[in-house]
Amino acid sequence: MLKDKLKDKTAILGVIGLGYVGLPLAVEKAKAGYTTIGFDIQEDKILKVNSGINYIGDVINEDLKKIVDNGKLRATTDFSEVASADAVCICVPTPLDEYQQPDITYVRASAESIVPYMHKDMLIILESTTYPGTTEELLKPILEKSGLKCGVDFFLAFSPERVDPGNLIYKTKNTPKVVGGVTKQCTDIAATMYENILEAPVHRVSSPAIAEMEKILENTYRNINIGLVNELAILCNKMDINIWEVIDAAKSKPYGFQAFYPGPGLGGHCIPLDPYYLSWKAREYGFHTSMIESSMMINDRMSEYCAERSSKILNRFKKSVNGSNILVLGVAYKQDIEDYRESPAIEVINELEKLGANVMYYDPYIFEYKEHGKVKNGLQELSSDALKHADLVIVTTAHTNVDYNYVQENSQIIFDTKNALKKVKNRENIELL
């Protein structure tokens, strides 16, 4: 029985997709004692994993090398090896298409790649964030093309990934897991796997749709609250009120308030995208998610607003944004990581360049980034000359390894969208979002 194999760790586990979610999960499976196979279509990832070379910030280099060397983890592009796996987790991207609608191409392709190699007692878990209904409406019919019946011959569940890149406290290993299976037995077997891998509680729910909606709720909650403070930041600027001081005062209340902070927009693969998945699905039921869509609109516009504010700041010093030299500090979507997926800082750069500004950037984690096939190179170091040369310095990511006193001392004007310079005493040349 599969449950027994999971408990005694003789089960072979597979992970499809070796990115920010899949590789850390594969590493934890192997560290827990399971023989683990990673699948990906990108040959460079396969070569790196099999050589014990890490490319994900949340994975410890020594951990990866050790489990590869002892044979507990290997990677392949050959999906026929799925046949040897007892349980497979799908951890592939779920982006938006050009019309801002869910693109589940990777999920569909992963499921179809599994079908020819499915066998009885196999467990399949989708971890990719998606709209409620994906597991049962899309995945289940595809997998049943194998001739096996879900809940009888194989087991299917949804368990949303909760990866927070750069989080020093909560990693894959110690973050609580939510699991919802198509049947009670599906839930039980999927939960058993995670319970033997993680050092965190596994929360069982009654269906995949509950688990799918739960993940959307997590990220929509953050999206809406950030949208609220972004809107208040715009209003407070008009009213000459410091929004950062307002939030600090509000969070002195020990109950009923959770602090969220404004910024140049939302970044990363989840929070900016997930509400679109829910809004799209809601239309199937004739329901308009007005609050969600309002927050998305506000957050999406923040990069443009920051460019407009930059122009106004320059105008006050009798400078035009057109032809000005602007230095952007930080292109990662959040502090202290090298991930720039959906980064609002890049959108700020794009908006400024549309206005005719000469924009350079510095990020201690990202020395170049690619967008639409083009490479933009950043500064290799943050020199006093680079700061002094800039007509305006814009802080878009609050990296903690940047000396902000040094930035203040060498800059003409600073537009701080993240309150990164809050501890700097001389504030004569600092303007906050």
- For residue 129, the tally of other CB atoms under 10 A from its CB is 23
Query: Class for domain 2-206, per CATH?
Result: alpha beta
Q: What would the mean pLDDT of 259-265 be, rounded to a whole number?
A: 98
Q: Is 216 helix (H, G, I), strand (E, B) or coil?
A: helix
* Catalytic entry in 150, 186, 270, 306: 270
Asked whether the predicted pLDDT for residue 372 surpasses 90, the reply is no
Residue 214 and residue 410: Cα distance in Å, rounded? 47
Give the tens place of pLDDT for each residue, 5-44. Answer: 999 999 999 999 999 999 999 999 999 999 999 999 999 9
* More confident position, 386 or 270: 386
Residue 332, pLDDT score? 97
pLDDT band of 273, cuts 50, 70, 90: confident
Give the tens place of pLDDT for each residue, 74-105. Answer: 999 999 999 999 999 999 999 998 888 999 99
pLDDT band of 268, cuts 50, 70, 90: confident
pLDDT band of 201, cuts 50, 70, 90: very high
Asked whether the predicted pLDDT for residue 353 surpasses 90, the reply is yes
Asked whether the predicted pLDDT for residue 168 surpasses 90, the reply is no
The CATH number fitting domain 221-432, selected from 3.40.50.300, 3.30.450.20, 3.30.300.20, 3.40.50.720: 3.40.50.720
Question: What average pLDDT does the structure give for the chain?
Answer: 96
DSSP E strand stretches across 274-413: 325-329, 358-362, 368-371, 374-377, 392-395
Contact 313, 431 (CB under 8 A): yes
Active site residue 89: no
Residue 107 and residue 90: Cα distance in Å, rounded? 7
Tell me whether the CATH fold assigned to 2-206 matches the one assigned to 221-432.
Answer: yes
| Dihedral sign from CA coordinates of 404, 371, 161, 30 | negative
Between 61-65, 77-81, 128-132, 165-169, the lowest mean confidence (pLDDT) is in 165-169
pLDDT band of 206, cuts 50, 70, 90: very high
Q: List the domain boundaries for the chain.
A: 2-206, 221-432
pTM: 0.93
Asked whether the predicted pLDDT for residue 269 surpasses 90, the reply is no
Contact 104, 130 (CB under 8 A): yes
SS3 content of the chain, % helix, strand, coil (to 5): 40, 15, 45
* More confident position, 167 or 160: 160
**What is the 3-class SS of 256-288, one letter each residue?**
CCCCCCCCCCCCCCCCCCHHHHHHHHHHCCCCC
Give the tens place of pLDDT for each residue, 211-261. Answer: 999 999 999 999 999 999 999 999 999 999 999 999 999 999 999 999 999
Residue 285: exposure state from Cβ atoms within 10 A (0-12, 13-18, ≥19): exposed
Give the tens place of pLDDT for each residue, 301-313. Answer: 999 999 999 999 9
Asked whether the predicted pLDDT for residue 271 surpasses 90, the reply is no
Residue 364, pLDDT score? 97
Residue 143, pLDDT score? 98
Q: What residues does 361 pair with on adjacent strands?
A: 328
* More confident position, 17 or 166: 17
Residue 191, pLDDT score? 98
Residue 296, pLDDT score? 94
* More confident position, 58 or 135: 135
Interacting residues of 209 by C-beta distance below 8 A, sequence separation 6+: 132, 133, 135, 136, 180
Residue 193, pLDDT score? 98
Side-by-side strand order, sheet with 392-395: 358-362, 325-329, 392-395, 414-416, 430-432
pLDDT band of 120, cuts 50, 70, 90: very high
pLDDT band of 272, cuts 50, 70, 90: confident
**Residue 46 backbone phi and psi in degrees, to 5:** -60, -45
pLDDT band of 409, cuts 50, 70, 90: very high
